[in-house]
Structure 1
Amino acid sequence: MLDWIKNHFNTLHNLQLNTIITDQEGKQLSLDEGFRRYIRSVKAVRQLNSKLIFIGNGGSAGIASHLAIDYSKNGRMPAMAFSDASAITCLSNDYGYEHVFAKQIEFHGRQGDIVIAISSSGKSINILNAVAAARSLGCQVITFSGFTANNPLSHLGDLNFYVDSNEYGFVEVAHIGLGHAMLDYIIEEQSSGMETRNTLLAAVE
């Protein structure tokens, strides 16, 4: 049993460290550069009077809700998740489940918002439709996906995080781990004063 446990967590560790990150043009970025771009983008919503919008189905919906409240409460960034049961059932009934997130983005999204789309397979039609709706409003898009390397979602973001596994558990835990790691860095910046120093240095440069 112990060998299985060690192998399981070693696999998860390696998947997170070897996350494939690409930009909008498909250029692969280092883990360090991917983290930096993500952190810079999400922090900017404070100054731009914008917000983060997290979307996902099933387990990814849980991740979306979890990260939205943590980014709001602990990261001091306006964030929301479209996981309300009444909204989902209403919009599914009226427009079809494939439009359940796109419609909410049409209602609540604004230019400059960042839509963070989470899908283990990267093939969920309602997520792909939501990304299209976000683009039409001038939102930025960040994607988290897994399973097939060339899944549709993995090419649609300004920044794309792809976890190279076909197992839901590994992909979902890696996704929430990545989202938390980048938030934790932001929180450490805030608590140490490093964020203020970095802002001043950037202004001087």
Structure 2
Amino acid sequence: MWNKHTEKLQNCLSSIEVSGNHCCKDGCDQAFAVWKEMTERLRDQGKIIYLIGNGASASMASHFSADLAKNAHVHTQVFTDLALITALANDISYDQVFVEPLKRRLTPNDMLVAISSSGNSPNVLKACAFAAETGASVVTLSAMSPKNNLRTLGDINFWLPADTYGMAETGHACILHYWMDSVSTSPA
């Protein structure tokens, strides 16, 4: 059973589809090279990478925010403060919990990394649309349906043909670790 599971994960990771404005006729290698270059330029300019997601994707956003800050010396920001989330959800709308703080902080030279297994979370979609309108770079990670809405909103879009949340989340963690390791300034 374990070997079948790991084989399924390998097949899922090998079947990643990449699309977007900045790529990606040559697939994942080109997408990761472009993402690395975007990140290094952002770091050199002292700009910010915002990471967002819901549930496990929010935890992943927080995890990689910390890893990028520590290992890649990149300024990062997540919106995981429970008081902020509940105030915005209660007073404005849950679909605005990322857009509202981005309105006050995001600049055209920043980057938004959006993680959503379903690719259809309204708050994530609205944040990506806002970031694109602002002129910030947008990188998306999604899974499940190949017709999910997040797949079309980024400069670089990674989509996994995962049919379970566990497979999607594991694949997204792999993508994020690979990116973070590529921009790390810390010795291995």
Q: Same fold (TM over 0.5)?
A: yes
Q: Return the alpha-carbon distance in structure 1 between the equivalents of residues 183 and 20 of structure 2.
A: 21
Cα deviation digits, residues 16-71 of structure 1 (max 9, x gap): 23211112288544121111111111121112221100000011001100010100
Correspondence 1:94 to 2:91:
yes
- Segments of 5+ residues of structure 2 without an aligned counterpart are none
| SS of 2:19 mapped into structure 1 | strand
| SS of 2:97 mapped into structure 1 | helix
2:174 to 154, 177, 188: 177
Cα RMSD of the aligned pairs, angstroms, is 1.7
Task: State the 4+ residue runs in structure 1 displaced beyond 2 angstroms.
Answer: 24-29, 189-192
Cα deviation digits, residues 128-155 of structure 1 (max 9, x gap): 1111211222111000000111211001
Same amino acid, percent of matched pairs: 31
**Residue pair 2:114, 2:140 contacting (<8 A) in 1 also:** yes
- Segments of 5+ residues of structure 1 without an aligned counterpart are 193-205
Which amino acid in the other structure matches residue 48 of structure 1?
Answer: Q
Cα deviation digits, residues 105-130 of structure 1 (max 9, x gap): 11221111100011001100001111
Q: Return the alpha-carbon distance in structure 1 between the equivalents of residues 26 and 172 of structure 2.
A: 17
1:84 to 72, 77, 81: 81
Match of 2:137 in 1: 140
Offset of 1:181 from its aligned partner? 1.2
Q: Which segment drifts farther, 23-32 or 169-178?
A: 23-32
- How does the TM-score come out when normalised to structure 2? 0.94
Correspondence 1:122 to 2:119:
yes
Q: Return the alpha-carbon distance in structure 1 between the equivalents of residues 13 and 49 of structure 2.
A: 23
Q: Return the alpha-carbon distance in structure 2 between the equivalents of residues 116 and 127 of structure 1.
A: 10
Q: How many residues align?
A: 188
Larger Rg over CA atoms: 1
Correspondence 1:55 to 2:26:
no
